Structure 1
Amino acid sequence: MATINRDFYEHLRTDYKREIPVLAGSGEAGAYDAWAVDCPFVFYHKDKFYMMHIGFDGLGYRTALATSDDLVEWKREAVILDRGKDALRWDHVGAAGSWILLESNDLYELPRLKKIDNKYWMIYHSYPEYGYEAGGAKMGLAWCEDESLLEWHRLDEPIFSYENGGEWEKAGLYKCCFLESAGRYWMFYNAKDNPEWLWKEETGIAVSDDMRNWNRLSDKPVLMTQENTFYRQYVSDPYIRFDSRTGFWVNFAFGYDGENAQGLLAVSHNLTEWMIDPEPWIRNGEPGQLDATHAHKSSVIYWKDRFYHFYCACRPSRSGDPASIESGNGEFRCIALATSAPLDKRSGYHAP
């Protein structure tokens, strides 16, 4: 796979990491975020910034919203995709919102939601068994007419499954990026090849004319793992926007080498052929920092001449953490922020 000229994309750099989370798990028994928060998706709606995110409560994922006036201080609002009451539904364990369709793909425009048929549209994924990402997930479609974005409705059946896919995705799907370009809808999704560790995760493409019926462009992934790289185990969680300053699509995904997940940058001129930067775009941090273990699952927004790069940060649990994933030795998983220019000193950040 070809590599990119990093100098061409230095303007996308977000080297200033905030020292404290913008959002962390609550630790409250029964709350959607009792153990952790994850997977930010940031957009602008009705004169506020919104962050769709998921919480893990020990049983499964539930999707919620937080709001902000300045992209730094965030307030939780409500759960918008909850655990279903019907145990026969395919998504009764939980629903993890991935992406809501946006009006523009341009990285330099505020990401605003787009209505189709007077509805906002979200793709989410759901796992079939209780526990942490237990079993093979499938994709569902939800819609909302409510401008408060609190009342979402789900289609009865999945819109996309691993069961009829290629060998590389036969064990289940993960979160996706969902956009409209060249007269059709595109879904970039990652999936795993094996239900048991050591599996690989790679990224594929499906397209649709109606958001309900999806066809894979290929039975092979479009972004693949590569030996002897920081993405030798995973190339996952695409976040794709159009960089109008360079004329290229940019993908803020992540790579995983079996120990640490780190932000990855890939670029493309046509959405189907991608070049990956050989070095991590956002590196995991030093021991004790929020992202000492992982820095991954990005959402990037440009506002007032500054990039705000939200991502999921992980480090080992320690005494005093409000919440943690209770498996192995424990993990503190939160949503962190890196910026292209320093924030106010009161906000706290690590300089590059």
Structure 2
Amino acid sequence: MAGFVQGEFDHLRAPYKREAPVLQGSGKAGSYNAMSVDCPFVFFHNDRFYMMHIGFDGLGYRTALATSDNLVEWGREGVILDRGEDSSRWDYVGAAYSWVLLENNDLYELPRLKKVDGKYWMIYHAYPEFGYEAGGAKMGLAWCESESLLDWHRLDEPILSYENGGDWERGGLYKCCFVEYEGRYWMYYNAKDKPNWPWTEETGLAVSDDLLHWTRLPGGEPVMGVKPGTFYSQYVSDPHIRFDSRTGNWVNFGFGFDGEHAQGLLATSKDLTNWKIADEPWIPHGEPGEADETHAHKSAVIYWKDRFYHFYCACRPAKPGDASTVAEGEGEFRCIMLRTSLPLD
């Protein structure tokens, strides 16, 4: 897009790919990650690194935690948002975390969770029907007081729905992130324009003063939209926004999709409203046979010991011996991978 300065953000690149996944599905029937894992979110808490992520078990998404001391080897802690017991609830099928409120926005500081009213706050999304992302999803809010982060409580009603949104989001909502800035909360979320394939996904913005009541921007149009003829011609999705204090820009490690490959993108902004998207994929899909052969998307970025760790969801066609595959995706293997700005020791 015009206005994006090539080379200005090269310090954010992560060209070194770790070949082995850091997390993958278990292949065990009944487990939260029986078929796949997806959507990493990495932060620092209680002197350890935590990765919030979702698993797909064939019925719906469930949210879990993993922990690490070095950002490379990860151990699972447990499921924190599970399938509900009350089938009348809007989020009964499953709950996929989207973001947890952080106390800082600076990309070069370790991301730590922030308490409001004595609680940690998480936004999540849920689909109404069993299956792989079946039906139009809505956004909900959950809270936790425990420092173990294993005991979350969900509010009864959604906080944001596609039903009162613009035409571009009438098919349902997807993953979001939010930042606290100038006394307000800014939520960036992607959504699809219709329920049935092929659809378009774009990224919009809503603001709140209390985390409970959200108002879309006047006009309600996307702030990051698709562009014909680019690698983001069909999707601009899954925002992951931090502040790059070295350049004075907000940066979004989202992803674009052109109908064939989903690839990481970089968008930048001075004011959180007007965004420029780099012309080329920030995290390109891999070569044939690599874990990210088909898709390299859904990023989480953390800076530690002078190195960027760029986590993302990788996808390729299934191979004999894979422990888990997404049946709905006709034999797709989906895992969480890592790239770094410097080689790992």
Give the equivalent residue in structure 2 for 1:285: 286
Give the equivalent residue in structure 1 for 2:261: 260
Q: Does 1:71 align with 2:71?
A: yes
Structure 1 residue 5: Cα displacement: 1.1
Could you tell me which runs of 5 or more consecutive residues in structure 2 were left unpaired when the two chains were aligned. none
SS at match of 1:291: coil
* 2:286–2:294 CA contact under 8 A, matched in 1: yes
Give the equivalent residue in structure 2 for 1:298: 299
User: Which amino acid counterpart does residue 143 of structure 2 have in structure 1?
Assistant: W
Structure 1 residue 266: Cα displacement: 0.3
User: Which amino acid counterpart does residue 231 of structure 1 have in structure 2?
Assistant: Y
Q: Give the Cα–Cα distance (whole angstroms) in 2 for the partners of residues 296 and 173 of structure 1.
A: 17
Offset from partner CA, 1:33-92 (integer Å, 9 cap, x none): 000000000000000000000000000000000000000000000000000010000000
* 2:62–2:95 CA contact under 8 A, matched in 1: yes
- The 1:222/1:196 distance shift into structure 2, 3 A limit, reads same
Structure 1 residue 2: Cα displacement: 2.9
Give the equivalent residue in structure 2 for 1:329: 330
Task: Summarize the alignment of residues 130-145 of structure 1 with structure 2, pairs less than 5 Å apart.
Answer: 130-145=130-145
* 2:132–2:328 CA contact under 8 A, matched in 1: no
User: Which amino acid counterpart does residue 137 of structure 1 have in structure 2?
Assistant: A
Q: Give the Cα–Cα distance (whole angstroms) in 1 for the partners of residues 321 and 44 of structure 2.
A: 33
The answer to which of 107-116 and 217-226 deviates more is 217-226
Structure 1 residue 328: Cα displacement: 4.7
TM-score normalised per structure 2: 0.99
Offset from partner CA, 1:91-112 (integer Å, 9 cap, x none): 0000000100001000000000
After the TM superposition, which parts of structure 1 deviate over 4 Å for at least 4 consecutive aligned residues? none
Structure 1 residue 322: Cα displacement: 1.2
SS at match of 2:129: coil
Give the equivalent residue in structure 2 for 1:340: 341
Q: Give the Cα–Cα distance (whole angstroms) in 2 for the partners of residues 136 and 82 of structure 1.
A: 19
The answer to which of 269-278 and 217-226 deviates more is 217-226
Q: Give the Cα–Cα distance (whole angstroms) in 2 for the partners of residues 315 and 149 of structure 1.
A: 32
* 1:241–1:250 CA contact under 8 A, matched in 2: yes
SS at match of 1:20: strand
Task: Summarize the alignment of residues 242-257 of structure 1 with structure 2, pairs less than 5 Å apart.
Answer: 242-257=243-258
Give the equivalent residue in structure 2 for 1:185: 185
* 2:296–2:313 CA contact under 8 A, matched in 1: yes
Give the equivalent residue in structure 1 for 2:236: 235
Structure 1 residue 327: Cα displacement: 2.6
Q: Give the Cα–Cα distance (whole angstroms) in 2 for the partners of residues 171 and 261 of structure 1.
A: 20
Offset from partner CA, 1:271-298 (integer Å, 9 cap, x none): 0000000000000000110100000000
User: Which amino acid counterpart does residue 57 of structure 1 have in structure 2?
Assistant: D
C-alpha root-mean-square deviation of aligned residues, in Å? 0.7
Q: Give identity over the alignment, percent.
A: 73
Give the equivalent residue in structure 2 for 1:152: 152
User: Which amino acid counterpart does residue 36 of structure 2 have in structure 1?
Assistant: A
Task: Summarize the alignment of residues 16-55 of structure 1 with structure 2, pairs less than 5 Å apart.
Answer: 16-55=16-55
Could you tell me which runs of 5 or more consecutive residues in structure 1 were left unpaired when the two chains were aligned. 345-352
User: Which amino acid counterpart does residue 34 of structure 1 have in structure 2?
Assistant: A
Give the equivalent residue in structure 1 for 2:124: 124
Structure 1 residue 164: Cα displacement: 0.3
Offset from partner CA, 1:287-315 (integer Å, 9 cap, x none): 11010000000000000000000000000
SS at match of 1:73: coil
